[in-house]
Every structure is written in C-alpha cells, then in structure tokens.
A and B are shown apart, each in its own frame.
Chain A
C-alpha cells in the first residue's frame, strides 16, 4: 500500500539527508497513540447529540415505493398554491383604463399670471415635407445656364424693339 510513496521518497539520495529528518518527525507525530478513552468519549458525544437536527424532519427516506404518491400530493399542493397565487395576482393587478379623448375646456383668459409673451408656435420642420408623388428632377446643366443668362441679357433689347414697334404702329 505504501510502497509507491516509499519508492519515491527513497529513490533520490540527494534528499535522503535533510528531508528524511522531516519524514521521520512527521511519522513520529503521525504514529502517536490516541489518548485513552477517546472512543468512549466519542460514543458519549454521539449519544448526547440530537438525533434530528433538521428543520424538516423526514420520517422515512424516499423510496420508489412511496415516492410517487408523495410527488403527486406535492404537485397537487404546488398547483393549488400556484393557481391561488396567480388568481390573486390577476385580481390585484391594476386595470388599465381604456384610452379615450377628453376634450379640454378652453383656457379662460385671466389677467395676471404667466403669459405666453406672444410666442408663436414654430412647426417642426426638421424632417421636412414628405412628397406623396414623384417629381421630375429639374437639372440645370451648364448649357441651360448659359442660355438662361443669355436670354436674361437679351431681354432689354427685346423690350426696346417692342417699344419702337409700338411707336411705329400708331404712325402707320
């Protein structure tokens, strides 16, 4: 039984000096005899000890023979307790009132107190308007831009032409 450890301990001669002293000391202490009457004192302590020191005292250990009946009874009790608790929970739970719109009476204009300081409500325009129908994108190319600028510059001449035509036509 002890051979493997003894082999390990005696195998290396380097340890045989110092560590064997420690082994001997520990073996000396481990081999000390127990005091006389130890067994009797332990017996007395066991006799004086309470036999059932548990909160729930089990009359008999659970066996397969009687465990199914106990399990069924426990399940029934647990079901009753859980069901009762659930029903209480449902009753105690506060009922949420149905949502309905209550028209508020217009605020009477009273003198004094806080005033709106004639502030106007600014609509929320951060998201911008949402287009409901598709719109053709109006792209302005460089050619179009030149045309538009040219037409803008020709417009005064055309106005002059129109004026001269108007002056000539009464003469006719």
Chain B
C-alpha cells in the first residue's frame, strides 16, 4: 500500500471520528462538557492569577520591553487555552508555563533581531526602581546596568539563557534544566562558563576606559 493510500485512510479515520463525535453525542454529555469546561476555565484563571507576574518578569528579562513582555504573557495563556485538554497531564504548572513563555520570548527575540536593541539607557532609567536616588544617580545606575546588559548580550546563547534564568529566585537549577531541556549538570557547567565570560567581558571593558 502506498504512502498516499495510508494518508488517505488516516484522513478518513480522523474525519470519521470527528463526524461520529457529532452524530453520537449523547444529550447527557453536554452537562459534562459544560462542567469540564468550567473546571478548565477555573484552572486557567487560577494559573493567570498565580503566575502572570512571574511570566511577565521572565519575558521582560529577555525582551526588555514592557509591551512585548505583556504580549508574550498573553500569548502564553492563549496557548494554554488552546491546549487546555492536556492541563491535567501537567505536573508542575510553573515550570511548564515558564517553558512556554521562554520559547515564545526566544522566538520573538529571534524574529526581532533586525530591530534595534531596546537596552537604551533612558528605557532602563524609566523602568528600574529609584529608591530615593537623585536623577544623576539614577542615570548613572541605568548606564551601568545598560553596560552590563550589553555584556550579557555578547554571551553565547546557551550561557546567556542559563544566566538569565538563574537570576530568577523562584527557579532552581533542576527547574532551569527542565525549562531548557538539558541536564542539571549542564546548567551548572554553562553557568560557570557564563560567569567566567561575563567577568572577562566586564574587565575588558573596564580596561578600555
């Protein structure tokens, strides 16, 4: 039997399953469906209330743009809504959501490479907290952070990702490994390399001044 015939049979089977799902619907199932849908909505609402802030911070740490970060969070929950049938199979919602938002954010970052970097000092000065600092001090701090972030951007992608995720207090090395799909020992070694490289880059920049 050729591949074309197999594909045809598969299509017929899926279509027929969908058709029969409609034909053979038992009236009692509507109540079950509604109950299930309400339960899923409740779980989704709980996930939004609980993790939206954390997801925003993850998104912002990579995109460094409030609007883009919020878009990424919304897209994350829309994806969850699309796959809400599988919600009961998820073991750790936090890691699962962070992984989704991380993939979305990396995808956006990749696509937006042609755009100029948004790590400008003014944006950082506006976003970063100024705890009783003068305007000059805030500007100097923003400049310093922008300089550091410039060095972070120069790191290789693997090391940079681990370094960025390690900055989140709520993520352990095991969870970072789960988000990135690598082993915990890889997380440690990448983190070590990232710190080495960062130290080298920052010292090099200092020596140039």
Task: Determine whether the beta carbon of B192 is less than 8 Å from that of A41.
Answer: no
Residue B108 is within 8 A (CB to CB) of chain A in the complex: no
Contact check, A19 vs B21: say whether CB atoms are below 8 A apart.
Answer: no
Q: A88 in the interface, Cβ–Cβ < 8 Å?
A: no
Interface flag for B60 (CB, 8 Å): yes
Task: Please report the total number of A residues contacting B with Cβ < 8 Å.
Answer: 55
| Contact among B20, B56, B167, B196 with A27 in the assembled complex (CB-CB below 8 Å) | B167
Interface centre among A12, A15, A29, A71 (most CB of B within 10 A): A29
Q: Does B195 sit at the interface, judged by CB under 8 A?
A: yes
A25 to chain B minimum Cβ distance, whole angstroms, is: 4
How far apart are B177's CB and chain A's nearest CB, in angstroms? 11
Contact code string A146-164 (vs B, CB < 8 Å = 1, else 0): 0000000000000000000
- CB within 8 Å: A-B pair count: 177
CB-CB under 8 A from A14, the residues of chain B are 199
In the bound complex, how far is the Cα of B170 from the Cα of A9, in angstroms?
Answer: 16
Asked if B140 is an interface residue, CB under 8 A from chain A, the answer is no
- Check: B107 CB closer than 8 A to any chain A CB: no
Residue B127 lies at the interface, judged by CB distance under 8 Å to chain A = yes
Contact with B along A52-78 (1 / 0, CB 8 A): 010011111110001001110111011
Of A18, A49, A78, which is within 8 A of B203 by CB?
A18
- Is A75 a contact of B53 with CB atoms below 8 Å? no
Interface size, chain B (Cβ < 8 Å) = 69
- A22 with B198: in contact, given A49-B78, A81-B8 (CB under 8 Å)? yes
Q: Does A26 contact B (CB under 8 A)?
A: yes
- Residue pair B191, A35 in contact (C-beta under 8 Å): no
Interface string of A6-17 (1 = CB under 8 A from B): 001100101101
Known: A4-B172, A59-B33, A78-B12. A32 touches B57 (CB 8 A): yes
Of A14, A34, A81, chain B has the most CB atoms within 10 Å of the CB of: A34
Name the CB-closest residue of B to A28.
Answer: B128
| Residue contact B16 to A78, C-beta cutoff 8 Å | yes
Please name all residues of chain A whose beta carbon is closer than 8 Å to the beta carbon of B168 when the two chains form the complex.
30
Chain A CB within 8 A of B114 CB: no
* Chain B 55-93 residues near chain A, CB threshold 8 A: 56-58, 60-61, 64, 66, 70, 73-74, 77-78, 81-82, 85
Q: Residue A38 at the B interface, CB < 8 A? A: yes
Instruction: Tell me what chain B mostly uses at the interface: helix, strand, loop, or mixed.
Output: helix
Interface residues in B120-179 by Cβ distance below 8 A to A read 127-129, 144-145, 148-149, 151-152, 163-164, 166-170, 172-173, 176
A166 to chain B, nearest CB (A): 94
- A124-162, CB under 8 A of B: which get 1 and which 0? 000000000000000000000000000000000000000
The yes or no answer to A1 lying at the interface (CB within 8 A) is yes
B146 to chain A, nearest CB (A): 9
List chain A residues, Cβ under 8 A from B49. 39
B48 adjacent to chain A (CB < 8 Å): yes
In contact, B21 and A45 (Cβ under 8 angstroms): no
Chain A contacts for B191, CB-based, 8 A: 5, 8-9
Q: Are A78 and B18 in contact (CB under 8 A)?
A: no
Q: A9-B195, A25-B148 are in contact. Are A42 and B73 (CB under 8 A)?
A: yes
Query: 7 A-B residue contacts at CB 8 Å?
Result: A5-B166, A15-B199, A32-B57, A42-B48, A46-B81, A59-B21, A70-B20
Closest 3 CB pairs of A and B: A26-B167, A34-B53, A18-B202
Interface residue ranges, A against B (CB under 8 Å): 1-2, 4-5, 8-9, 12, 14-15, 17-19, 21-23, 25-35, 38-39, 41-43, 45-46, 49, 51, 53, 56-62, 66, 69-71, 73-75, 77-78, 81-82, 85
